[in-house]
Amino acid sequence: MTNRAFKGWMAVGTLALGMGFALAGGSRPASSQTYVPTADLEHPKVRYSDSLVSLNDRCPVRHGKLNPAYVPVYVNGRPVGFC
């Protein structure tokens, strides 16, 4: 193996390792994002780290339970959660 090929494989390995760390670190929800109990126990709202509660209690895509691991989209300053 030539020096150039070795450097190429090292770059690929470093990139793969970095992406693995990035994906593993971003998969856990923040500890301050919690479910807020509502009348419908199957679909609670989420309180985010900025102390705002999600506008919706269901995912607008799959109509399932909100996932606190996903970052909300803010519409008019209010968070909209996703699954």
The reply to whether 24 and 53 lie within a common domain is no
The reply to whether 5 and 16 lie within a common domain is yes
The reply to whether 83 and 43 lie within a common domain is yes
Nearest Cα neighbor of 79 from 44, 52, 45 is: 52
The reply to whether 36 and 23 lie within a common domain is no
Give residue 57's pLDDT band: very low, low, confident or very high (50, 70, 90).
very high
Cβ-count burial 12-25 (b if 16+ within 10 Å, e if not): eeeeeeeeeeeeee
Instruction: Say what percent of the chain tops pLDDT 70.
Output: 64
Which residue range is the domain that position 8 belongs to? 1-29
- What average pLDDT does range 4-20 have in this prediction? 64
What pLDDT sits at residue 12? 67
The reply to whether 24 and 5 lie within a common domain is yes
What pLDDT sits at residue 32? 77
Please give the model's pTM, rounded to 2 decimal places: 0.59
Domain count, the chain: 2
The reply to whether 23 and 53 lie within a common domain is no
The reply to whether 25 and 38 lie within a common domain is no
